[in-house]
Structure 1
Amino acid sequence: MSSFEFENGEVLKDVKVEYMTFGTPIYDEQGNIENAIVYCHGSLGNYSSMKKIAPLACEGDVFDENKYFFISLTSLGSPNSCSPSTTNLNSKFPKYSILDVVNFQKQFLKEKFNIEHVLGMIGNSMGGFVSLTSAIHFPDFADFIILGVSSYKVAGHDYVLSKLVNEIITSDPDYAKGELTYSLLRSSRLANLAEFNFGLSKKALRNMSNDELDVELENFGNEMMEIDIYDLKYCNQSCMMYDVENDLDKIKSKVLIIACKQDPHFPPELDAIPMNEMIDDSELIIMDSDLGHLCFNELETISDDLKRFMNNF
């Protein structure tokens, strides 16, 4: 995109957007794509997170690629789209909100595909924040939204986790320098390790021996060091401020909420169930999976429920 303006008024030019599509676009009489579904990934993921729905994209399945046109972009703030690391602005990158992520997405869809209305949005974790925020601020944009292991606000234990990650990063004296140092790499590793306990279910972790956990924790820390510390800090900050509880009555889209009984991030009784009660036209599916917060990797286990929902569209 030629430029993007943030909520705070700051503007970046020559904005990079990474994306992919699959499926079959269907056009109306005016030449507009009428079957677009936008996939919104989780924190610091990218366009390839759309692979989570690939097992259900075969002919006759829930997300039949002959019926739908899927678009997935790497969101604002994530590496390889416009982000602190991609722009090399690091700590000078404009602070952004979840609404900025939504506006970034909408501007891209309009400029690249001339899309001003989509059939639906599918959001996983932070992607659920994006989908829900879009449905609130642009009620006529999507016919449906599917929210996976997500919530209407970051609060309680999840807010404390975000504060901890933020504290680990900003307490490093090298953070403000805007240059990657050994100390920052170490702080980035520690900040990411704080997240390890919020992926798999407690049962799955308990079933591992301590030696196995040592290996898993070490590997996780090493893998997550690939995430730039400034991208992590900005994304964490935007999620930490997310709260749309008082605006849920503005939603016009039909909503499907997918939760997981074993999710340590967003337990259904604290997030999905209250959200289902607060959103008028919503349905709730609670998965049973030891993958916990990562349960979107086995959506095929609820394919019948998803088919019933998608038959409306």
Structure 2
Amino acid sequence: MTFGTPKYDDNGDIDNAIIYCSGSLGDFSGINKILPLTESGDAFDADKYFFICMSALGSPGSCSPSSTDLKNKFPKYSLVDVVNFQKQFLSEKFAIKHVLGLIGNSMGGFVGLTQAIEYPDFQDFVICGVSSYKVAGHDYILSKFVDEIITSDPDYAKGEMTYSLVRTLRLACLAEFNFGLSKEALRAMTNEELSADFETFGNEMLETDIYDLKYCNESCMNFNVEGNLDKITAKVLIISCKQDPHFPPELDGIPMSEMIENSKLLIMDSELGHLCFNELETISDELKEFMEEFGDS
């Protein structure tokens, strides 16, 4: 998905592209999270920037276990592979050699940091939202738990969906339910409301391919760029959320901001928790201030 206004340098190359990187198994529509801030004069003014969002390697609709029908024979991939896949796409489809910046939430933040490390000169800025520099502690255990649920089913090795695997997929997805909304938002709901939402979430996630989930979860589970953050030369805006159950600021955003030179930390206050990118308009002034440096390409 693209929108906005491409601008070109003297060589005829697009020089105002901003890439949006969606969260785990998200597709190109993830960029809709910034649409409220794309009007004239807003932080992501569509008259100033050209936005591109692709379905990442491993995500449904892109090259993935489900779309290739390779299922459990699909090659394992890392976040570096995801970055290289994206760079190749940008080069082949848009002849883009350099982007103005990247915006990523959750796993998309992993992608943004990885690209800034692997290719320091490829972007001027990175906005890394509700994300981290490594998967560790409680978040690592959650990933291990999801992996254990999936691989413990003997039918996983068959490479085809069975009744047992459908049930296993639902359980693996439900393990994530408690890590979206904030603890405060969940506590404000009645048990009846929670039960209904829990049931609905499990049913909706049955549309996920269990092999896509397994491979994506594994690529994130092994993510750790702590030792390479000093390679980042782009300006970095780190957006954390005080109520994020996945990546709380004190464990992720704050230490990351201390390790990345030329970075700025912004902590949101949102009961949406890990899903706070759905209300970026609450920090529109801060985002506009950060983007002012990058408005005149």
How would you bin the TM-score normalised by the shorter chain? over 0.9
> Which of 87, 112, 118 is the equivalent residue of 1:106?
87
Corresponding residue SS for 2:154: coil
- The letter of the residue matching 2:155 is D
Corresponding residue SS for 1:257: strand
Uncovered stretches (5+) of structure 2, i.e. residues with no partner? none
5 Å-filtered alignment, 1:180-219, equals 180-219=161-200
1:48-79 residue CA offsets vs partner (Å, 9 max, x unmatched): 01000000001111101110000000000000
Report the equivalent of 2:153.
172
- CA shift, 1:29, in A, is 1.0
5 Å-filtered alignment, 1:240-255, equals 240-255=221-236
Corresponding residue SS for 2:20: strand
Of structures 1 and 2, the one with the larger relative CO (CA 8 A, separation 6+) is: 2
Distance 1:181 1:84 in 2: 16
Report the equivalent of 1:38.
19
1:279-298 residue CA offsets vs partner (Å, 9 max, x unmatched): 01000000000000000000
1:153-199 residue CA offsets vs partner (Å, 9 max, x unmatched): 00000000000000000000100000011110100000000000000
- CA shift, 1:116, in A, is 1.2
1:17-68 residue CA offsets vs partner (Å, 9 max, x unmatched): xxx1000100111100000000000001110010000000011111011100
Distance 2:43 2:230 in 1: 28
- The letter of the residue matching 1:107 is Q
Corresponding residue SS for 1:312: helix
> Which of 280, 289, 297 is the equivalent residue of 2:261?
280
- The letter of the residue matching 1:300 is E
> Which of 48, 52, 67 is the equivalent residue of 1:67?
48
Report the equivalent of 1:97.
78
Report the equivalent of 1:233.
214
Corresponding residue SS for 1:305: helix
What's the Cα RMSD here?
A: 0.4
Work out the percentage of aligned pairs sharing the same amino acid: 73
Report the equivalent of 1:54.
35
Corresponding residue SS for 1:51: helix
Distance 2:129 2:166 in 1: 31
Query: Taking structure 2 as the reference length, what is the TM-score of the superposition?
Result: 0.99
Distance 1:188 1:78 in 2: 16
Instruction: Considering fraction of residues, name the structure with more helix.
Output: 2
Distance 1:184 1:58 in 2: 45
- The letter of the residue matching 2:39 is C
Report the equivalent of 2:67.
86
